[in-house]
Structure 1
Amino acid sequence: MKQTVTKKFALLGISSCYLLTSCSVEESQLPKPNIIYVLADDMGYGDVTAYNPDSKIETPNLDRMAQQGVRFTDAHTSSSVCTPTRYGILTGRYNWRSPLKSGVLTGKSEALIPTERTTVASLLQQQGYHTAFIGKWHLGWNWQLKDPEKAGGEGWDAQDFDNIDFSKPVTHSPNDLGFDYAYGHSGSLDMAPYVYVENGLATAIPDSVSENTGKYSWWRKGPTSSDFDHEDVTPNFFRRAIAHVGQQAQEDKPFFLYLALPSPHTPILPTAEWQDKSGLNPYGDFVMMVDDWMGKLLASLEENGIEENTLIIFTTDNGCSPAAKIEELTAKGHYPSGVFRGHKADIFEGGHRVPFIAQWPAKIKAGLVSDETICTTDLMATCAEITDYQLADNEGEDSYSLMPVFEQAALQKPLREATVHHSINGSFAIRQGDWKLIMCPGSGGWSFPRPENKAVIDTLPPIQLYNLKEDPSETQNLQAQHPELVAQLKTLLTDYILNGRSTPGEPQANDPIKGEWKQIGFTKVSN
C-alpha cells in the first residue's frame, strides 16, 4: 500500500528516495503518489526569495521547498486574473475556450465548468484517488433561489442576495466535478456572499451583513455567516488541509488535494503575529504568513510519513495586484514582479509569469532548476501520465505533461510548442522560444498604458514583439524589425484558436459566450 510503504521507510530512518534511486525497489513498482496543488492568490514572481534574491520578503519555507525540488523559472498562468486561471488548472484547457472570454466571475455567478467536462479531479477520482478541494473556488456554482423568476443581476455589488436560499444545497458544485470532498467559499474573499459551503451545503446561514473599507483589508458589502471570519479564512483552510493530510495518510488509497488560497489577495489580513513583520506593508506581512503556513503543511507530510511519494506543487494564479500598494513596496526596494513588466491583469510578463515549485523526493532530484516554458494548464496531462490515463481528444486540449522535466529526461525539443497568454480584457499573446507576440498595443490590463487610455494607446503600434532573452522587461518593441516572425507567430496563434487545441489531436470546438456574462461587459473571442 502506498502510504504504508513510505511510512516503513520513515520508521527505518532510511530515505525512500535513496532506496528507489538505488534500485532496491523497481520504479515501475512505485505506488501512485499523493498529489497536492497549492494555489496562492495574487502573489508576484519577485515575492519569493528563491526567485528574487533581492526580495525584501522572507520566504524560508518556499525557498526550502525549491531547494528540495524543482523550481521553474519560466512558468505562466493561462490568464492574468483569478477565474480563468482556475478554469485552466482544473480542465487543462485555455480559459478563453470557455464561455468566459474576459474578466472574472462574481460570488454569485453560475458554474463555469459543465459537469460533463473532465477535470483533474474527476480524472484522478476515476484512477482510484480520493479527491478534495479546500479554499477559494471562484469558478461559479449554482445557488438555489427563493424565486427563480427574480434571479437578479450578476454584478459585483448586487443587492439581491435575499433571493438566495442558503438553506438549500448548491448545484454544479465542486462535488459534481470530481471532488469527493469540498469545502470553501464561492468567490474571492472580497466578494459576497461570505459563506462556507461544505459538500454543497452552507455550514451556517448568513445572519449579518459585513463590509470593510480599509486601505488594505476592504471587502464588498454582503451577507456573512457567523462562522465566517475574514481574518481567519487563510489559517482555517490551512488547518483543514493539514488535518485532511493526516486523515488521508491513514488510508490505503492515494489522495489529491487542491488547496486554493484566498491570499495574499484582498482583503490583506495578516494575523496579529505577522503584522509589521516584513518591514514593508501588510501585503509583505501577508506573504510571510502564507509562507509560514506552507512550512506547516510541508511538515505535516513528513510527520505523517508520506513526504517521499507526495508530489506537492506551489504556484499562484497570477501576478501581484496593485491592491498590494506596489508603489509602497517599490519605494522600499521590493519589486513584486522582479525584473518583469506589469502586474496582475496585464498581458505583460508580470501579469502571468509566476513562481512554480514542485517537490516529490521519490521522483524529482533536489535543487533542480528548469528554464522550460510551462503553463498552469499542464497539471491535467501531468496527472494523466502519472496514473497511466490516456487523455481523449476532448480532454486537456492545452495540457502538456511535466513528467519529462520531473524525471530530468534530456529534452530533445521544448516541452511545449508554444504558450498562449491572456489578459483581463481578453487580449492575447503567444510565446515561442525567446519571442513573445502581443496582439494589443498596451497592457491589456491595469498597468500603463491601460486599454482605456486612448490618448496613448492610439499612438502605439497595434501589436508588440519582444525578445524575452535579451529584453525580459519588455521595453523594446521589435515588431517593425521582424515582420516575418510576427506573421509566423500570428498564424500559430490563429491555428490554436481555430483548432480548439494547442496539443496534438482532433480539432475541438470553442464554447460560445454565455449571455449572463456578456451583460457585464465581457467581450467575445472570435473563433
Structure 2
Amino acid sequence: MFRYSVQNRSGQLRNIATFLLISIFMFDGLAQSKSTENKQPNIIYILADDLGIGDLSVYNENGKINTPHLDQLAAQGMRFTDAHTSSSVCTPTRYGILTGRYNWRTPLKQFVTWGTSPMLIKDDRLTVADLLQQNGYKTANIGKWHLGLNWALKDSSQELEYYSGIKDKYPIEQLDYSKPLKKGALDLGFDYSYLLSASLNMPPFVYVENDKVVMGPIGISEQKRNENKYAYWIKGPISDDFKHDQVLPVFVDKTVSYIQENAKDDKPYFIYLPLPAPHNPILPIAPWKGKSNINPYADFVLMIDDLMGKIFKAVKESGEEDNTIIIFTSDNGCAANANYGVLKAKGHNPSYIYSGNKGSYLEGGHRVPFIIKWPEKIQPNSISDATICTTDFMATCADIVDYDLKDNEAEDSYTMLPLLLQEEGYNREATIHHSKEGVFAIRKGDWKLIVSPSSGLNAMGKPLKKLKGLPENILYNLKTDVGEHVNLAEKYPEKVEELKQLLIKQINDGRSTPGELQKNDKIDIPWVQAAFANNTQN
C-alpha cells in the first residue's frame, strides 16, 4: 500500500513537472510571439543607380529584360506607378531620401558631389538613420554613398567643413587613408557602414568601413573607356582589394551577412543599400555577361535582379519576412550611356512610355520604379497610382515609429503609410522636380509646369549653356499627354500662373509640408529672387 502510494505520488509529481515545463515553453513561446508582434518592422531600402522605370518587366509590358525577382517583390507587395525622385541625378536624390528635404535648399543646386567632396548633410540635420537609431533600431549603410565625406588630410590647412559648391572638393593627392574620416556615415545615425565614397567611376577606389579605409591605395587606376562607353572610370588611387566588377556582389554579400547576423534580434534593423549599378561602368560578370542577348546594360540589369533575389531569400530564411519592409527603387532614370540606340533597336526602352532620361526634367529623368513589400501590413499585388516622392521615406518611418517630426525636420516629406494601408490621409499637395542643370518643374494633379528651362540660369544664378531656344514656360497635362509632347502654356495661362506661384511659395517657405517656415541656402533665380528676400542664408 505504502509502495503504491509513493509510485502514485511520483507519477503525480512527474505529471506536475511535465505540466510546468509545457507551461513554461508555452509562456516562452507566447512571450516570443508577443515580442515579435510588438517589434517594429525591419526596414531595407534598396536604391538602384540609373535604373529606368522601363527596365523592370513588371512595369514594361513591351520590355525585353526579364526581372523575375523584382516582379515577384511587386506581386507580394505594392507597386507605385507615379513615383518620383526629388532630382534626376544621384547625389540630390540621396540627400532627399535620408533627410526628407529637397536638395536645392542646400548649396547643391545642380549636378552631383565628387568622391572627394566634403559632407553635404550638416551636423544639425536629422536623418532617417538618426530617427530610427533614436527609436531602437540598429542601422546600417552598405553601398554607394555619394553625399560627400570629410576625409582626413595630410595637410590640415586644406580642411573643408561642408560642401558649398560644385568645385568644392579635397585635393585627391592630399587624402590620408591611414586616418579615420573626419565626418562619415557614422556621424549621421548609422551604427555600421561599408561604403564607396561616390559613383563607381569616381576615385578614390577604396572601401570605407565604419569611417575607416579598409585598405589604402597601392597605385593608380588608369582611366578606362571602351568604344561604346559601357565601362568608363576616371584615373585615380585604387586599393588592392577593390575590383570594379566585384563591387556590386561585395555590397550584396555584406547585406546578406548583416541580415543573417541580426535576424531574431530584439532590436529591429534598418539597412540603407544604395547600389552602384547599373550606373557606368557597366560591368556584368559571369554568369550574367551576355545573358540578355541585348547589350551589357541589359546584362547588368539581369545581374541586379538575380542578386536582389539573394537578399530576398536571406530575409525569408531569417524568419522575419512578415515583419520586414523591403523597398526597391532607383535614384533617377536610365543614363544615356546605357546605349539607348542598341536597346531600342532590340525593342527595349528603359524610359518605357515617357520622354527623357537621367538628368532631365522630363518624366523619364525622375519617374522611377518604386516597390514596397510588408507582408504584415500591405496587401499583395496591390497598385497605387498616387504621386509620391522619394523624400516621403523619412516621414513614413517617423509615422511607423510614432515620432513627431519637428518643424526643421523632413520639410518635404509626407507619410506614405496611409497609401500602404489603403487608407485616407496621404496629403502631398505638389511635387517639385529638379534637373541635372538645376531647372525646376512642379507637378500637381495631372498638370506639370517646367519653368524657364532655357532662361540661361540655374538655381545658383549660373549660366546654362546646353539649353537654348525653349519657351519661358512649358505646361503638360500628363493625363492626356504622358509623353510630354504638347506644350499647353499659351492655352492655359491661368494654370501656368497657379503652378508657378505654388512653386515660388514652396521654395520661399523653406518647406512644402505644413509647419513653421524654414530657411534655404541662398538661391538666385530671377523669377523668385524677390520672394527670397526674407528667407535666405549665405
Q: Same fold (TM over 0.5)?
A: yes
Q: Deviations over 1:134-165 (max 9, x none)?
A: 00000001111111345799989999422111
Check conservation: 1:151, 1:163, Cα contact below 8 A.
no
- TM-fit CA distance, 1:452: 3.2
2:185 to 154, 174, 178: 174
- TM-fit CA distance, 1:326: 1.0
Please name the residue that 1:438 is paired with: 450
Check conservation: 1:35, 1:257, Cα contact below 8 A.
yes
* SS of the residue 2:74 aligns to: helix
- TM-fit CA distance, 1:115: 1.6
2:439 to 405, 421, 427: 427
For 2:441 and 2:171, locate their aligned partners in 1 and report how far apart those are by CA, in whole Å. Answer: 38
- TM-fit CA distance, 1:217: 1.0
Corresponding position: 1:504 with 2:523: no
Q: 1:524 to 1:168 in 2, by over 3 A?
A: farther
- TM-fit CA distance, 1:410: 4.2
Please name the residue that 2:7 is paired with: none
The answer for unaligned runs of 5 or more in structure 2 is: 1-32, 458-462, 533-538
Q: 1:280 to 1:90 in 2, by over 3 A?
A: same
Q: 1:64 to 1:443 in 2, by over 3 A?
A: farther
* SS of the residue 2:321 aligns to: coil
Check conservation: 1:427, 1:444, Cα contact below 8 A.
no
Higher alpha-carbon deviation: 212-221 or 345-354: 212-221
Please name the residue that 1:81 is paired with: 89
Please name the residue that 2:394 is paired with: 380
Check conservation: 2:116, 2:171, Cα contact below 8 A.
no
For 1:301 and 1:39, locate their aligned partners in 2 and report how far apart those are by CA, in whole Å. Answer: 17
Please name the residue that 1:94 is paired with: 102
For 1:523 and 1:127, locate their aligned partners in 2 and report how far apart those are by CA, in whole Å. Answer: 43
Q: 1:443 to 1:55 in 2, by over 3 A?
A: farther
1:452 to 445, 465, 469: 465
For 2:399 and 2:326, locate their aligned partners in 1 and report how far apart those are by CA, in whole Å. Answer: 16
Larger Rg: 2
Which residue identity is paired with 2:512? Answer: S
Which residue identity is paired with 1:503? Answer: T
- TM-fit CA distance, 1:524: 12
For 2:169 and 2:424, locate their aligned partners in 1 and report how far apart those are by CA, in whole Å. Answer: 54
For 2:399 and 2:303, locate their aligned partners in 1 and report how far apart those are by CA, in whole Å. Answer: 34
Q: Deviations over 1:139-194 (max 9, x none)?
A: 00111111134579998999942211110111220100000001111110000000
* SS of the residue 1:461 aligns to: coil
Q: 1:27 to 1:503 in 2, by over 3 A?
A: farther
Check conservation: 2:439, 2:453, Cα contact below 8 A.
no
TM-score, scaled to structure 1 = 0.88
Check conservation: 2:139, 2:271, Cα contact below 8 A.
yes
Q: Deviations over 1:112-146 (max 9, x none)?
A: 00122100000000000000000000000111111
- TM-fit CA distance, 1:216: 0.7
Q: Deviations over 1:287-345 (max 9, x none)?
A: 01000011110111111101000001000000000010111111111000000000000
Which residue identity is paired with 1:195? Answer: V
Please name the residue that 2:244 is paired with: 230
Check conservation: 1:425, 1:444, Cα contact below 8 A.
no
For 1:112 and 1:140, locate their aligned partners in 2 and report how far apart those are by CA, in whole Å. Answer: 6
* SS of the residue 2:491 aligns to: coil
Please name the residue that 2:340 is paired with: 326
Q: Deviations over 1:393-436 (max 9, x none)?
A: 0000000011001111146xx64111000001110000000000
Please name the residue that 2:121 is paired with: 113
Which residue identity is paired with 1:171? Answer: K
Check conservation: 2:118, 2:168, Cα contact below 8 A.
no
- TM-fit CA distance, 1:31: 2.2
Q: How does 1:392-411 map to 2 (within 5 A)?
A: 392-410=406-424
Check conservation: 2:292, 2:302, Cα contact below 8 A.
yes
1:492 to 496, 502, 527: 502
Paired residues in the alignment total 488
For 1:165 and 1:159, locate their aligned partners in 2 and report how far apart those are by CA, in whole Å. Answer: 11
For 2:232 and 2:168, locate their aligned partners in 1 and report how far apart those are by CA, in whole Å. Answer: 13
Q: 1:453 to 1:110 in 2, by over 3 A?
A: closer
Q: Deviations over 1:499-525 (max 9, x none)?
A: 000000000001247xxxx9xxx9999
Q: 1:132 to 1:453 in 2, by over 3 A?
A: closer
Higher alpha-carbon deviation: 85-94 or 460-469: 460-469
Check conservation: 1:435, 1:465, Cα contact below 8 A.
yes
1:163 to 168, 174, 183: 174
Corresponding position: 1:284 with 2:295: no
For 2:169 and 2:124, locate their aligned partners in 1 and report how far apart those are by CA, in whole Å. Answer: 30
Please name the residue that 2:22 is paired with: none
Q: How does 1:196-215 map to 2 (within 5 A)?
A: 196-211=207-222, 212-214=224-226, 215=229
- TM-fit CA distance, 1:463: 1.1
Corresponding position: 1:299 with 2:313: yes
Q: Deviations over 1:250-288 (max 9, x none)?
A: 421000000010000011000121011111100000001
For 2:105 and 2:168, locate their aligned partners in 1 and report how far apart those are by CA, in whole Å. Answer: 27
Higher alpha-carbon deviation: 66-75 or 204-213: 204-213
Please name the residue that 1:18 is paired with: none
Q: How does 1:133-152 map to 2 (within 5 A)?
A: 133-149=141-157
Check conservation: 2:158, 2:170, Cα contact below 8 A.
no
* SS of the residue 2:433 aligns to: strand
- TM-fit CA distance, 1:30: 3.9
Which residue identity is paired with 1:403? Answer: L
Q: How does 1:305-316 map to 2 (within 5 A)?
A: 305-316=319-330
Which residue identity is paired with 2:190? Answer: F
Q: CA RMSD in A?
A: 2.6
Which residue identity is paired with 1:110? Answer: P
Please name the residue that 2:8 is paired with: none
Please name the residue that 2:258 is paired with: 244
